[in-house]
Amino acid sequence: MHYRVLGRTGVRVSELCLGTMQFGWTADEETSIRILNAAFKAGINFIDTANIYSRWVEGNPGGVSETIIGKWLKNSSIKRDQIIIATKVRGKMGEGPNQEGLSRIHILKAVDDSLRRLNTDYIDLYQTHWYDENTPIDETLSALDNLIRGGKVRYIGCSNYPAWRLVESLWCADENKYHSFTVLQPHYNIVHRSEFERELAGVCRRYNVAVIPYSPLAGGFLTGKYKRDSANESQRAGSAKKYFNESNWNLLDLLEQIGSEEGGLSISQTALAWLLSNDLITSPIIGPRTLNQLEDNLGAAGRQLNFQNKKLLDEASNWN
């Protein structure tokens, strides 16, 4: 497994980050543990989760993914400092006025709950899941700064932030001598480029913010399992359906062609390699539900496309 430095932190993380939203949802606990073991054995040392995973599923109270990771750590021989754990705060975790958001009161409760579920006394990367328009950024950053100074959190990051809010956050941290966001987790892949590339990419490059994109395979669309001639018959397309158009079907054909030229990469491996060929990207967050999916994703580690193939894909997926 290849490794990269996480922004300004000096922390070396694996090129692929193991996302765990599927744990306790589309992957049961036993399967999730097997995936964790196999990923670690393959060299993945970076695990991303969130306290709300997966509260939207009937019967899931939230915190299930964190709990599975905590059980895995407790029952394995893996030392805590061999793993980089990232989790998030923002979403609703109970009833009442202070059970969500990025206020000081919610953050201080949420971090303790996450630490307990994860069976650890510190979180390597604590991320705000999306911004909170009802809480001043100063209050949020002050609370996060206190967590770092108190040893509960090592570094902080944010997810789903527009460029103006990220810049405001960096400015506020600098002005008040708070620890600042060193990581951005955006929605980014080859068929969903403009949200990140239009403004956020420039901010991350200018201020050396690490980028760990989620949904790098576009909800399964970039695995190649959906075909233009049978797309309308798919009952499990879910979030991938929004990508069903002729331009993207042609892009899948090109990904398949380039993957063959690059040494027999699958469509999903080529899509991941496209991200890894961008020097802004630290670790795409993969979300395998099975060991077979994990094995396929692992084939992208250390792979970068040659200049001409990268250019062809850039032009074919250009949003300008």
3-state SS, residue 164:
helix
Other CB atoms within 10 A of residue 123 CB: 23
> Beta strands 285-286 and 181-185: pairing type?
unpaired
* Known active-site residue 53: yes
Tell me: cis bond preceding 103? Omega within 30 of 0 counts: no
CA distance readout (Å), 263 to 52, 154, 299, 304: 39, 39, 11, 11
Question: What's phi and psi for 125, nearest 5 deg?
Answer: -135, 115
Q: DSSP readout, 125-150?
A: EEEESS--TTS-HHHHHHHHHHHHHT
The catalytic residue among 53, 155, 178, 243 is 53
Q: Are 16 and 286 in contact (CB under 8 A)?
A: yes
CA–chain centroid gap for 11, Å, is 17
206: left (phi over 0), alpha (psi -120 to 50) or beta: alpha
Q: Hey, what are 211's tokens? A: 């980028």
Would residue 153 be called left, alpha or beta, if left means φ above 0 and alpha means ψ between -120 and 50 degrees?
beta
Active site members: 53
